[in-house]
Amino acid sequence: MDFFEKSIIKLQNQRQIFHSEDDLKLSLAFIIKESNPEFEIRLERPVSLEMINQNGQKVIVRAPIDIVVIDADGGTYPIELKYKTKKANIEISGENYSLAGHGAPDVGRYSFRKDIYRIENYKSKNLNYKYGYVLIITNDNQYFENNVFEKDNFDKHFSFHDNVILNRFDLSWNYSTINKDKYKLNENNVWCNINSKEQHWSCTKEYFYKLDLLNDYVISWKDFSKIENTTFKYCLIKIE
């Protein structure tokens, strides 16, 4: 068990719930530093990554990594976090947690894969890379229980329900389900509105990346905490 896995266990013992993703990020960074005082911690460290659009166009994107841990030898451990919640009001020890209802699990599934891609991309550009992580904590059972692949959803290829293998090849959004009376492919292989020429949201900005991975990943969900009628689970991907 390495320092990050130990940190998650310690986090579970100290915090059952978080106000936001920033709250999670700061709490986790504090525990890592407290348990490993020789480490340096950077939050929201900006990096430049090469991304490829679905139509083959390459773009350089400057974006932050949530946490970068630096060991005494200069080795780096980039960490990406997701905290996806269903709307809830929970009180613990006199502290009220009013959780946002994030919804949009299709975008959440895509973003989880994108985080893995970004860590792999970081790995290929940094000689001092040791290993990285992608961690999601959620009380939304749509992520860990719903097999949207079998339901033939628009986001079926991004499903990361429990025990599935996340295939390294990105099969993109399931455009077989798109409304062909409203959208058609243009000359740049982009889905656009027939009347307005406006691009479909999945063909814009960060939702249009080709996210081929270096490896397949086995998805495993574990209990993080149980509070009243709310269960939080987490999925951890280690990228070696």
Which range of residues forms the domain containing residue 231?
3-239
Asked if residue 173 lies in contact with residue 209, where contact means CB atoms within 8 angstroms, the answer is: no
The total number of structural domains that make up the chain: 1
Rounded to 10°, the helix 3-14/21-35 angle is 120
pLDDT at 205: 85
pLDDT at 55: 85
pLDDT at 57: 87
For residue 35, the one-letter residue type is: S
Which regions of the chain are under pLDDT 50?
Answer: none
pTM: 0.94
pLDDT at 128: 93
Q: Which long-range contacts (CB under 8 A, 24 or more apart) does 8-14 make?
A: 8/135, 8/234, 8/236, 10/35, 12/224, 12/225
Q: Which long-range contacts (CB under 8 A, 24 or more apart) does 40-43 make?
A: 40/69, 40/70, 41/67, 41/68, 41/69, 41/70, 42/67, 42/68, 42/70, 43/67
Q: How far is the CA of 5 from the CAs of 69, 90, 157, 167, in angstroms?
A: 14, 27, 28, 24
Q: How far is the CA of 48 from the CAs of 39, 82, 116, 160, 198, in angstroms?
A: 23, 20, 15, 27, 29
3-class SS of residue 230? strand
pLDDT at 37: 96
